A and B are shown apart, each in its own frame.
Chain A
Amino acid sequence: MSQKITSYPGHEITPEDLKASKYLEIIQKVEPKYSWAAGVAISRFLNELKEGRLIGRKCDQCERILVPPRMYCERCYRPTDSWVYVKDTGTVNTYSISHVGTDARRLKSPLLVAVVEIDEASPGMGILHTLSEVEPSRVTIGMKVQAVWKPAEERQGAITDIRYFKPFEGV
């Protein structure tokens, strides 16, 4: 309600009104369904995830290693040249501590969303995922992290085959 207008004529529609069919209510469920062809690059990436590995594509012109892989280099505008395995460790590029769920409710424990730049991929190439096994207050840009994989038998060729990234414990 604006500051100038303090009341509107009539009354608000109540749930009881709707139940009593006093007003027209149209509820339509639309269920479009898709079966996307993943294509060459995504298919290979997903198959490698199932094996617990990360793979990228190299562009010989700009010498970047693109992760996740693409069959074309968007900068040089040419097909990429070869498959390259990369590590499953990386560096936090940026992060957000998300307190609100998709249903607008406050989360009991916040979700740590982060962009992880993958080691051996070109700078700026990364995976959008979550962090765990770390206090939100301890997360920093530049923090070294590593992937925590689902057990092999549970992996299905999805980005969620990586459960989350946690602080890197190796050297």
Chain B
Amino acid sequence: MPFKIGIVGVGYAGFDTMTPGLSTRELMFEAASRAYADAGIDPRKDVQSFICCTEDFWEGISITDEYMPDQLGAVLRPLCTVSSDGLVGVATACMHIASGLADVAVVESHSKASDVVNPNEIMSFGFDPVYNRHLDVDPRFLAGLEMTRYLKDSGTKREYCADVAVKNKKNALSNTRGVYGTNLSRETVLASPNAAAPLTELESSKVIDGSIVMVLASAEKAKKLGDHTVWVRGIGWSSDTPVIEDRDLATAAYAEQAAARAYKMADVRAPVSAFDLAEVDDTYSYKELQHLEALKLAAKGKAGRMVDSGSFDRNGKLPVNASGGSLGVGHLLEATGLHRLLEAILQLRGQAGQLQIPGARKAVVQSWRGIPTATGAVAVLGN
């Protein structure tokens, strides 16, 4: 039987550079309340599994999972934390439902980046203590290394990376959630200060605050909950070695594998023509190109040229990050994958407002967990 799990409710709060009026927990309560209203469920009775995707160092509190129940309606209910990107939490929810443990499962992830004074310190602390931590520079040096190798191996023109930033920041202008939407020229992006050359600052997404909550349900239960279900038809996730020196820095092998699994589950044979839209990770400009190739939405080394020719524009052959992505909307730390998913769901529901892609029925979303990880997830969606 084909794999089919419903996303029956979505809710979000924040999407701003700062949310000083609300605590993390109050922000989560807002997002969760909206998701439960959207799904038409009572979290105190109808949910058999709550899943949070958080990382202690971003929260500033250890064993942070213990602080999650109240604001989600999960007190004395089954709850666990997945210390990874939100899309991996969705995969966990799918497993809980597919196994019969739960009819309805909730996934939450958030960023309260404005609470973190020195995020670079936390990112750098993720590097190998024996071999890598002696490098006393901005952790984005890893992005610079990947980008250099990607450009070389793929033969991509350096300018095409800048085009990704131009496209996504322009798309974000029409997105009510977009914080970094703007009209820029390729030249301006290239001329912006170097972060870790070749990567420039305008090719590097900036963090924002936000909480996103998804309500998932079994196919049977989903039929009883509202009329705007979006179906997860396939989902995969994968992690490459933590040894940076051993990775193929030119490609996103984690995304390639995650996609292969998700495509197999969803019986996607020709990815390039299978979707009406894609929301893929664009934490850094070149990442979108790497990921498009890993997802087989562009042939190896061809993604850049396709961005340049407009194939991935909002009115192009395959709109990619029509929402504005992380470069245009802002980066949500561990909630970034749920953000990609949220934007795709709104499209498939026909609720994307000014961003709406007419007749959108099938989508692929992909996440990456950021520096210094090589972990990513892919989900195939249909309405």
Contact = CB atoms under 8 A, between A and B. Distances in A.
Interface of A: 24, 26, 28, 30-42, 70-72, 74-77
Contacts of B63: none
A31 B121 contact: yes
B243 interface: no
A34 B18 CA distance: 14
B264 interface: no
B70 interface: yes
B73 A40 contact: no
B70 A74 contact: yes
Given A37-B112, A74-B70, A75-B75, 10 more contacts: A32-B116, A32-B125, A36-B60, A37-B21, A39-B22, A40-B23, A40-B26, A41-B23, A74-B73, A74-B75
B57 A38 contact: no
A32 B29 contact: no
Interface in B1-49: 18-26, 29, 36, 42-44
Contacts of B117: 32-35
Q: Which 3 A-B pairs have the closest CB atoms?
A: A39-B23, A74-B70, A33-B117
B125 A37 contact: no
B65 interface: no
B23 A38 contact: yes
Nearest to B45: A77
Given A37-B19, A40-B21, A74-B75, A32 B26 contact: no
Contact of B29 (A28, A38, A72, A76): A72
B231 to A, nearest CB: 27
14 contacts: A26-B130, A26-B133, A32-B57, A32-B122, A32-B125, A33-B117, A33-B118, A34-B115, A36-B24, A37-B23, A37-B112, A37-B114, A39-B24, A42-B23
Contact of A39 (B25, B75, B121): B25
Nearest to A40: B26
Contact of A34 (B29, B36, B60, B73): B60
B70 A40 contact: no
B23 A30 contact: no
Nearest to A70: B70
B334 to A, nearest CB: 16
Contacts, number: 78
Contacts of A40: 21-23, 26
A40 B26 CA distance: 8
Nearest to A78: B33
Contacts of A70: 70
A74 B69 contact: yes
Contacts of B73: 74, 77
Nearest to A42: B23
A35 B75 CA distance: 27
B100 interface: no
Nearest to B57: A32
Contact of B129 (A26, A37, A39, A76): A26
Interface string B215-254: 0000000000000000000000000000000000000000
B118 to A, nearest CB: 5
Residue from the set B19, B43, B73 with the largest chain A CB neighbour count within 10 Å: B73
Interface in B108-163: 112, 114-118, 121-122, 125, 129-130, 133
B71 interface: yes
B70 A30 contact: no
A28 B133 contact: yes
A11 B116 CA distance: 44
A26 B125 CA distance: 13
Contacts of B18: 37
A77 B43 contact: yes
A37 B22 contact: yes
A95 B56 CA distance: 29
A30 B129 CA distance: 11
A39 B130 contact: no
Contacts of A76: 44
B252 to A, nearest CB: 28
